Structure 1
Amino acid sequence: MVRSQRLLTLIGLLRSHRYPVSGKTLAEKLNVSLRTLYRDIATLQEQGANIEGETGVGYVLKPGFLLPPLMFTEEEIEALVLGARWVAQRTDSQLSNGAQNALNKIAAVLPVELKDILDDTTLLIGPSKESTTDTVDMAEVRQAIRDEKILSIDYRDLKGKYTQRRIWPFALGYFDEVRVLVAWCELRQDIRNFRTDRILSSELIETRYATPRHVLLKQWRATLHESKSSQ
């Protein structure tokens, strides 16, 4: 991890704790020595971060660093919390953690009068039918989409037929019970939808696919529009 990224990660870790957290804990999460951690904290303090604490006691970041107080309406805050709760319950652990970390960052810079709304919102996510289990690393799939990299997958279709595909993933749809990967399929020479619970294995190919992701997404949306128009 480069130092600039490590400093941002350290800020995120401090924001996620309301009370002082030990230097040892922070160093272990960052996979650095205590000496390096102390230097990083000193650097952030020099840049204006209001980090309080000392060796042997722990460190805490006071609100307000980098971002100004965020002004949301009550409905906007409730929408953020509701969305984060949905992600926490309906997606994989990495996205669930990402949703919680995002809320922690927002909470750190909210004006005092709005913090209670964030903590006490009464909008809840109801139970759903048991969702299917993904057999592949969804974090890797999302990274392939972001980096526009090819995936080699073993796939079982609805009829139970097994095929091996090379696909260009560019979108991922989340539903209550399943997730659907949208990709250009080299075998079919067309855009196809793949249920992620039917992907038996996947391998990231370190090659960028030929057509940019935003172009594929535009083409796919056009086909959806044509389909609606013909109904």
Structure 2
Amino acid sequence: MSAPRSARLLTLLDELHRRRRPVQGAVLATRLGISLRTLYRDIDTLRAQGAEIDGEPGIGYLLRAGHLLPAMMFSAEELEAVVLGTRWVAAQGDAQLAVAAQAALDRIVTVLPPALRLQVETSGLFAPQWGTRPAEPWVATLRQAIRDGHRVRLQYADAEQRTSERVIWPFAMAFLADKRLLAAWCELRQGYRHFRADRVLALDDLGQPYPRPRHDLLRDWQQALRTSSVTADRS
């Protein structure tokens, strides 16, 4: 059985997004498992919905750079993922992130066609806050520091309640059901360390960029994880 037309249109748009040069209609039709006539109709439909697709039969098609996906182009599963994801963030994130998640969902809903809007508004997928620990007050500051690539000074208490002052380069954070974990390069230990946000006693964004790009830190940290050379900080 062929895929629903909305899903097929999304797949076609994804195919065009991945191309940097015009692609023949026959190639697209084969990829989607449809006839050329159906492909031409789908191209016309996408154009009518605002997709800026250059080309014509016999020449090939190219989606203009910078084009955004039409807001209504979601499959049922994708909409459920969006709803559940934003509701989970609203339940597990800090206050600012929760507000942003709800605002993002509201923005999506306002531009959906009626049938899809109803699907979101009547979704039975929830992420309740039962038993979750409120986010620490400095989580928003940590997120900003990660985004900006800034060095951070923090006062930290280990499992034995011994305190220390650290300057770290935060580059990743994990939001778990009962805690927030921070991954960072620690200047004191000269290595990658994991810190629990609930053990942070005080935190100050120094406003100073750390000396390496965040994507380099992420890459090296992931490599260190594969070799089990990163542990939670205990000292």
Alignment of 1:114-153 (within 5 A): 114-126=116-128, 128-131=130-133, 133-134=135-136, 136-153=137-154
Q: Distance in 2 between matches of 1:222 and 1:161?
A: 30
* Paired AA for residue 112 in structure 2: L
- Considering only CA atoms, is the larger Rg found in Structure 1 or Structure 2? 2
Check whether the contact 2:91–2:128 (CA below 8 A) recurs between aligned residues: no
Check whether the contact 1:68–1:109 (CA below 8 A) recurs between aligned residues: no
* Paired AA for residue 174 in structure 2: G
* Paired AA for residue 186 in structure 1: E
Aligned partner (choices 95, 115, 129) of residue 113 of structure 1:
115
String of CA shifts for 1:12-45, please: whole Å, max 9, x gaps: xxxxxxxxxxxxxxxxxxxxxxxxxxxxxxxxxx
Q: Deviation of residue 72 (structure 1)?
A: 0.8
Q: Deviation of residue 67 (structure 1)?
A: 7.5
Q: Deviation of residue 68 (structure 1)?
A: 3.7
Report the equivalent of 2:233.
none
- Equivalenced residue count is 162
Report the equivalent of 1:226.
227
Report the equivalent of 1:86.
88
Q: Deviation of residue 109 (structure 1)?
A: 1.5
Q: 1:133 to 1:90 in 2, by over 3 A?
A: closer
Alignment of 1:179-194 (within 5 A): 179-194=180-195
Q: Deviation of residue 128 (structure 1)?
A: 4.1
Q: Distance in 2 between matches of 1:106 and 1:162?
A: 45
Q: Deviation of residue 132 (structure 1)?
A: 5.5
Gaps of 5+ in 1: 1-65
Q: 1:207 to 1:159 in 2, by over 3 A?
A: same
* Paired AA for residue 76 in structure 2: E
Q: Distance in 1 between matches of 2:97 and 2:208?
A: 25
Q: Deviation of residue 70 (structure 1)?
A: 2.1
* Paired AA for residue 125 in structure 2: L
Q: Deviation of residue 88 (structure 1)?
A: 0.8
Q: Distance in 2 between matches of 1:126 and 1:108?
A: 24
String of CA shifts for 1:34-88, please: whole Å, max 9, x gaps: xxxxxxxxxxxxxxxxxxxxxxxxxxxxxxxx97442111111111111111111
Q: 1:128 to 1:222 in 2, by over 3 A?
A: farther
* Paired AA for residue 171 in structure 2: F
* Paired AA for residue 142 in structure 1: R
The SS at the match of 1:227 is coil
Q: Distance in 2 between matches of 1:133 and 1:161?
A: 22
Calculate the TM-score normalised by the size of structure 2. Answer: 0.65
The SS at the match of 1:129 is coil
Q: Deviation of residue 90 (structure 1)?
A: 1.0
* Paired AA for residue 103 in structure 2: N
| Seq. identity, % | 42
Check whether the contact 1:67–1:109 (CA below 8 A) recurs between aligned residues: no
Alignment of 1:1-231 (within 5 A): 68-126=70-128, 128-131=130-133, 133-134=135-136, 136-227=137-228
Calculate the TM-score normalised by the size of structure 1. Answer: 0.66
**Which consecutive segments of 4 or more residues in structure 1 shift more than 3 A?**
66-69
Check whether the contact 2:172–2:182 (CA below 8 A) recurs between aligned residues: yes
The SS at the match of 2:211 is coil
Q: Deviation of residue 124 (structure 1)?
A: 2.0
* Paired AA for residue 76 in structure 1: E
Gaps of 5+ in 2: 1-67, 230-235
